[in-house]
Structure 1
Amino acid sequence: MSKIEIKNLTFGYDTQGTLLFDQANLNFDTQWKLGLIGRNGRGKTTLLNILLNQLAYSGQILHQLDFLYFPQPIKEKKQLTYYVLQEISDFEQWEIERELNLLQVDPEILWRDFETLSGGEQTKVLLALLFIDDYHFPLIDEPTNHLDIVGRKQVADYLKKKRQGFIVVSHDRSFVDEVVDHVLSIEKSQLELYQGNFSVYEEQKKIKDEFELAQNEKLKKEVSRLKKTAAEKAEWSRSKEQDKYGKASEKGSGAIYDTGFIGARAARTMKRAKTIEHRMDAQLLEKENLLKDIEYVDPLTMNYQPAHHKRILTVEDLVLSYQDQPLFQKLSFELNQGQRIALAGQNGSGKSSIIRFLLNQFEGESQGEILRPTNLKISYVRQNYEDNQGTLLEFSEEQGLNHQEFLNNLHKLGMERTVFQNRIEQMSMGQRKKVELAKSLAQPAELYIWDEPLNYLDVFNQEQLEKLIIAVKPTMLVVEHDQVFLENIATQVISLDKN
C-alpha cells in the first residue's frame, strides 16, 4: 500500500506577501478517496500543481506515483471529441465507450465536435478518459462544475465504484459527502486531515470552532480582570512611593515613620503588578493563537437599480436549434421586476443557449421572440471568463466600475488584499470567478443574468450570495445546478425538456 508523504512543505507566490504553506507536514494513503477542501485562494489547485511538480517549493514530497490532472488541457476544440481525446492520451475505442456507459453517456458523443458539447458533457468525457489510465494517480479539480443535478449524481456513483484512490477538489458538499472517505482541509494556518466525509469534517470543525470561541471568551474576561488588578496594584505602589518621600520630608518635625517598610511593601506590590502583567501578556498571546482558523464572512453589496418598467422580459414561443435540431420544446415566460427565474434542466437542454440568445450571442437557429425595454441595463456573469486579464485597476477601468466598490466586494468574497497586486490571469480559478462576480455586483443593472455563478465558489461564498439576493430582491435570470441555492433564491423555476 503506497503513501504520499509531505515534509516541511513551504510555498508562496512571489507576488504575495504571505506563504500558502509554511513547514506543512502530511502523510496519507494512496488508496484513500481524499477530498481536498478550503476557501478559494488557500492553495488547493496550487497543492495539486506542486504534486505535479509544476511549481518550485522547499521541503520534500515522497511518493512512487505518476500523477494525472483533471481537467486535461485541450489544444483544439474544433474537431471530433474522439480525436480531441486521442491527442491527450492513447486508448482503445472500447475502453472509452465502456467508461462513458458507466457515466450513463451515449458513446455517440465521441463523434460530435468537442466545442458543441455542453460543459457537463465535456466534463464527463474527460473523466472517462482519466479513468481509462490505471497507471496514474488522479488529481481531480472541480469535477462538478457545469454538471446538472443528475450529472453530479452520475459522477458521484461513478467515483464511488472506482477501486483506486484519488484526490478530488470540490465545493459541492453533498458530492464530497458521497465520494470521499477522508478530508484534507486547508485552514488559515495549517493543513488538517479528517477521517470521514464532509459531514464528519463539518461537525468536527464546528466543535473545534465552538471550543475556541468559548476559550476566547474566558481569556477575554481573565485578561480584563488582570488588567484591572495590575492597574490597581501599580497605582497603589506609585501612591505609596509618593507617600514615602512625602513623609520622609516631615521627619524634621519630630514625626516617626517607617519609610523602609513602606518602600519594601510598595516594591513588593509593584513586583506583583509586573507578575500580573506578564501573566496577562501570556494569556493575550494564547488568545491571539486562538480563532486563527475561524472564517468571518461580511455581507456583500449589489448595485441594483430597479427599472421603471414592471415587465422586464417577455419570451414568446422560443425555440433554439443547432443544425435543425431543437434544443428544447417551445418556451414562453414572463419576467417581472423583482422576480428571480431559474432555468433548470439537464446539460445540453439549452439553458445557456437561451442566455446567449438574450444577449445576441447565439450562433444557431431561432424561432419566436423576446421583448424587453429599450436600453435595459444587464449585468452578466459568464460560465467562461478566461479573457478577464490585467491588473484589478486596469480591469475595473476597462469595465467602467467603481474601483473601491469592486475591491470591497472582492475582499468580502474572501480574496486576500495581497492578491490584489496579482494580474487576473495569474490568479486561481476561484479568485478569477470572484473577479467576474465582483464585476457584476459593481455594475449598475436592472437585470442580472448569472450563468452557473457558484462554480469554483466555496460554501461561505454561496451563503453570502444567498443572503444578498434575499435582502436586495433584484430581478434575475439564473442558471445553476445547486438545488439548495435555487430553493433559497428563486421565485420561479422553469424546467426545460430536451427534444
Structure 2
Amino acid sequence: MQPITIRNLTFAYPGQAPLFTDCNLDFSSDWRLGLLGRNGRGKTTLMQILQGRLEYQGTVTSRLNFAVFPMTITDPTAFTGDALQAAIPNQNLEQWQIERELGVLGVDAALLWQPYQTLSGGERTKVQLAALFAQDNAFFLLDEPTNHLDLAGRQQVADYLAKQHSGFIITSHDQDFLDRVIDHTLVIERHQLVLGQGNYSAYFQQKEQRDRRAQAVNRQLKTEIKELQHTRQQRLQWAQRAENKKRGNSHADKGFLGAKAAKMMKKTISTANRLDQTISNRQGLLKNVEEVVPLTLNYQPHHQQTLLTADRVTLTIDGRQLFSPLTWALHQHEQIALVGPNGAGKSSLIRAITGHFAGETAGELSVPTGLTVSYVRQDYATNTGSLRQFASQHSLPYDQLLNLLRKLGMERAAFTVPIEKMSMGQQKKVELARSLLTPAQLYIWDEPLNYLDTYNQQQLTKLINEYRPPLLFVEHDQHFINTIASQQVAVTPLDSANQG
C-alpha cells in the first residue's frame, strides 16, 4: 500500500476552459476507484496526467508504476503472447505469468498462440487485462474495459477484478459492473475532484440526497432573490413618483421639494445598492446542481396493437445458421431486449428486420404495412458533413436538432465540426438525435449506450419510461436492460466459436 498525492492540480487544453482548478487529492494504491463524470469532463485526461503524459500545474507524487488499459499493440500480426510482452517493456514479463492470470480470468491460454489481429474485441480486452495484472508493483489505470464485452464477458471481468489485491482507477458507464468492482468513487464535478467511499450505487444515492437538499436551498434562495428584486424595483418607483410630483406642482416651494426629493433619491439609491449586494450574495449561495434535462420523442402511435412478429425465425450466413429459431411478438408500449453473447446474431436479426441483412432468413418476420421505424445503428460512418446538411438530408428541423444535441451535452463549439471529425461520443449523439426527432411508430436501437455517459443513460431511461414507445433494442448494460425492458428475448448461438 502506497500513497498517491495530488496537490494544486490545474490543467486546461490550449484555448479551452480549465478541466481542473487547484485540485487536491490523497488516495491509496490498494483502493479500487471508480472514476466518474460526464463525457468531456477530463476522465481520460486525469489518467494521462497521472502517467506524466501531459504538462500541468501542481504536483502528482507517487512511487508506483502506472499500467494502462487499453495497451498500444504495435504489431497486431504477431502472436498474442509476443504482442502483449512487447506492449509492456522493461517488466521482464514472462508468458507463464500471463497464462496464470488467464487461468484466474477463465480464458483459454491457447489465445496467446493466435495472431493478435484474429482475436475478437472481447478476447483482446481479456488478454490485455491478464497481461496488465501479471505485473508487480503497479497501479492500474483502466479506461473503459467494458467496451466490446457482452453481458457474460462483463460478468467474467468483474469477477476477475474482484479477486485482485492491487488497486486501480477504472472508468466505465456500466453501473452494475462498477458496483461489483469498486470500493471508492472519484467524481469529476466541474473542475474539481470529489472523493467518496463505497460503490457506484452508494455514490448515486448520496448524490441524489445532496441534490435534493441543494434544490430545496435553491428554491428558497430564488424566492428570496425574487422578493428582493421586487422590493428594489418598488423603492425606485416610489422615488421616481416623488420626483415626478415635484416637477408637476407649480405652486410648491421648489427649493424645499427639490431638497426633499434629492434626499429621498439618495436614500433610495443607497437602499437599492444594499439590495443589489444582498441579491448578489444570495445568488452566490445558489448550489450548482446538475439536473437531468428531459428529452423528447417524436412518437406517432400506430393503430394496430401488434407491431412486430417473429415466428420460428432463423438467419443463415454462408450456409451457417446463426441461432436457434426465435418466436416472439412486440406490442404497443412494450420494450423488448435482445440478449445473448457477442456473435450470437442479435445485430444480424435487427438488420433482417430493417431490411439490411445480406444472408438468408427462414421463418416469418412480419410488420404492419407502412409502419415507420426509427433505427439507431451501431455503425453510422455514413453520417458526414455539417449538422445543417445532416438535418436537411433527414428532413429534421435544424434548430430542434441543435437544441436536442445541447440537451445531450454536446458543446456548441462542436456544432461547426463536420460529423465525421467529431468524437465517437458526439457522433453517437447525432445518430441518437436523428432517431428521437424522426416521426416513428416503432423504435429499433442497436447498442444505444455505446460512447454515452451515465447522465445520458439517465436521460434515455426517463424518456422511455415516460413515453413507453414500442422499442426493440440490443444492449450489454444489465442495469439499463433491467430498468426499461418489459421482456427479454434470448438469442442462443448455434456455433459457440462465434462468441466474442
Unaligned runs of 5+ in 2: 495-500
Q: Does 2:299 correspond to 1:299? A: no
Distance 2:161 2:323 in 1: 30
Distance 1:491 1:69 in 2: 39
The residue number in structure 2 matching 1:259 is 256
Compared CA separation, residues 495 and 443, structure 1 to 2 (3 A): same
The residue number in structure 2 matching 1:345 is 340
**Contact in 1 for aligned 2:292/2:458 (Cα 8 Å):** no
Compared CA separation, residues 30 and 251, structure 1 to 2 (3 A): closer
Unaligned runs of 5+ in 1: 253-257
The residue number in structure 2 matching 1:495 is 490
Deviations 1:455-479 (A, max 9, x none): 3323332232233334545443311
Q: Which stretch of structure 1 is more off in the superposition, 419-428 or 157-166?
A: 419-428
Distance 1:498 1:61 in 2: 49
Which of 20, 23, 40 is the matching residue for 2:21? 23
**Contact in 2 for aligned 1:7/1:61 (Cα 8 Å):** no
The residue number in structure 2 matching 1:42 is 41
Distance 1:486 1:327 in 2: 23
Q: How far has the Cα of 1:63 moved from its partner?
A: 4.1
Distance 1:380 1:204 in 2: 36
Correspondence 1:273-292 to 2 at 5 A: 274-287=270-283, 290-292=286-288
Distance 1:167 1:423 in 2: 33
Q: Does 2:3 correspond to 1:2? A: yes
Compared CA separation, residues 474 and 92, structure 1 to 2 (3 A): same
Which of 190, 199, 222 is the matching residue for 2:224? 222
SS at match of 2:127: helix
Distance 2:76 2:305 in 1: 42
The residue number in structure 1 matching 2:497 is none
Q: How far has the Cα of 1:445 moved from its partner?
A: 5.2
Q: How far has the Cα of 1:230 moved from its partner?
A: 3.1
Correspondence 1:330-341 to 2 at 5 A: 330-335=325-330, 339-341=334-336
SS at match of 1:168: strand
Q: How far has the Cα of 1:71 moved from its partner?
A: 2.4
Distance 1:231 1:100 in 2: 72
Q: How far has the Cα of 1:453 moved from its partner?
A: 1.4
**Contact in 1 for aligned 2:313/2:365 (Cα 8 Å):** no
Distance 1:80 1:376 in 2: 49
SS at match of 1:183: strand
The percentage of aligned residue pairs carrying the same residue is 42
SS at match of 2:39: coil
Superposition TM-score, scaled by structure 1 size: 0.80
Q: How far has the Cα of 1:186 moved from its partner?
A: 1.8
Distance 1:313 1:74 in 2: 45
The residue number in structure 2 matching 1:255 is none
Correspondence 1:220-259 to 2 at 5 A: 220-240=222-242, 249-250=251-252, 259=256
Letter in 1 for 2:263: A
SS at match of 2:480: helix
Which of 458, 466, 474 is the matching residue for 1:479? 474
Compared CA separation, residues 222 and 339, structure 1 to 2 (3 A): closer
Distance 1:58 1:42 in 2: 18
Deviations 1:323-365 (A, max 9, x none): 96x65434344456765431112344443343455567778x8
SS at match of 2:312: strand
Letter in 2 for 1:145: N
Q: How far has the Cα of 1:404 moved from its partner?
A: 3.5
Distance 1:160 1:207 in 2: 28
Distance 2:116 2:361 in 1: 25
Compared CA separation, residues 195 and 338, structure 1 to 2 (3 A): closer
Q: How far has the Cα of 1:241 moved from its partner?
A: 5.2
The residue number in structure 2 matching 1:147 is 149
**Contact in 2 for aligned 1:219/1:283 (Cα 8 Å):** no
Q: How far has the Cα of 1:81 moved from its partner?
A: 4.7
Which of 314, 329, 339 is the matching residue for 1:318? 314
RMSD after superposition: 4.0
Compared CA separation, residues 271 and 329, structure 1 to 2 (3 A): same
Letter in 1 for 2:17: L
Distance 1:44 1:13 in 2: 17
Compared CA separation, residues 208 and 243, structure 1 to 2 (3 A): same
Compared CA separation, residues 245 and 346, structure 1 to 2 (3 A): closer
Compared CA separation, residues 113 and 312, structure 1 to 2 (3 A): farther
**Contact in 2 for aligned 1:350/1:496 (Cα 8 Å):** yes
Compared CA separation, residues 357 and 241, structure 1 to 2 (3 A): closer
Distance 1:160 1:13 in 2: 39
Compared CA separation, residues 233 and 494, structure 1 to 2 (3 A): closer
**Contact in 2 for aligned 1:389/1:424 (Cα 8 Å):** yes
SS at match of 1:5: strand
Correspondence 1:89-488 to 2 at 5 A: 89=88, 91-110=93-112, 118-134=120-136, 136-188=138-190, 190-240=192-242, 249-250=251-252, 259=256, 263=259, 267=263, 270-271=266-267, 274-287=270-283, 290-302=286-298, 306=302, 312=308, 314=310, 316-318=312-314, 320=316, 328-335=323-330, 339-355=334-350, 368-369=362-363, 371-372=365-366, 379-383=374-378, 391-393=386-388, 396=391, 402-424=397-419, 427-443=422-438, 447-488=442-483
Q: How far has the Cα of 1:75 moved from its partner?
A: 5.8
Letter in 1 for 2:312: E
Q: How far has the Cα of 1:437 moved from its partner?
A: 1.9
Letter in 2 for 1:134: D
Superposition TM-score, scaled by structure 2 size: 0.80
Compared CA separation, residues 185 and 127, structure 1 to 2 (3 A): same
Compared CA separation, residues 293 and 48, structure 1 to 2 (3 A): farther
